[in-house]
Amino acid sequence: MSHHRKGDYTQVFKAILDSLPNEANLEDVVCDFEAAIWQAVKECMPDVHLHGCHFHWCQAVYRKTTWFQSATWDVVNWCNFKKLVRTNNDADGWHRRLNTRAGGSSVTIYKLLKDVLRKDSS
């Protein structure tokens, strides 16, 4: 499937259930931890017991725990404990205003310096 939406899964489940020769007597369904699948199963098969896949649960837990030891993101790079500034929103806002005033985001260094110097002199 190219999309992972509840409506798409609902159509697939209904098509499968309609194509079965007898009414399906499902008791349990095991699936991935994807909200759209769970919602579609609950809608199409309200009486089944829904369980998450153990492999995918372990995989998600592993990913969540191992990123702490990542070579790319050292703890000092992402931990904001006792930091005064936790975001760069103020700098992003300043850059956006500067780009807007200079006439766009691909501004030459000369035009940028001219605009910055004009602002400093006023």
Answer yes or no: is 1 within a domain: no
- Confidence category of residue 7, pLDDT binned at 50, 70, 90: very high
36 neighbors 13 (Cβ within 8 angstroms): no
Q: Are residues 20 and 62 in the same domain?
A: yes
Average pLDDT, the chain: 83
The model's pLDDT over 51-78, given as tens digits with 9 standing for 90+, comes to 999 998 899 888 888 877 777 777 777 7
Domain count across the chain: 2
The encoded tokens of residue 24 equal 């399906």
Provide the residue range defining the domain that includes 49. Answer: 6-72
12 pLDDT above the threshold of 60:
yes
Q: What is the pTM of this model?
A: 0.53
- Confidence category of residue 6, pLDDT binned at 50, 70, 90: very high
